[in-house]
Amino acid sequence: MEENNLKEMKDMILTYVTKEYIDDDDVTLTYETPLISSGYVDSFSMVSLLVFLENKFKIKIPPSKATPEAFDSVNNIVALVNQYLNK
């Protein structure tokens, strides 16, 4: 994937996660911030993040791949999404 597209994807996901899951204005997420293991996004909320990704990128992620580890950072999420783009 081109670098520009990759950055765009990361920023889109970062913006979405910040808007939807972070209440505290003092928290600034990065591409590497652990999202699940930090508790910012709990395991129940992961489902809504999965639905967002599938809707946004028109992909289908198998439940077995939608693990806490795969969702634990924006970088991890982008790596997961890329596996299913253009499939």
b/e burial code for range 5-44 (CB count within 10 A of at least 16 → b): eeeebbeebbeebeeebbeeeeeebeeebebbeeebbeee
Find the shortest distance in angstroms from Cβ 26 to other proteins: 7
Positions in 1-60 near other proteins (CB under 8 A): 20, 23-24, 26-27, 34-45, 47-48, 51-52, 54-55
Nearer CB in complex with other proteins: 7/56: 56
Nearer CB in complex with other proteins: 3/25: 25
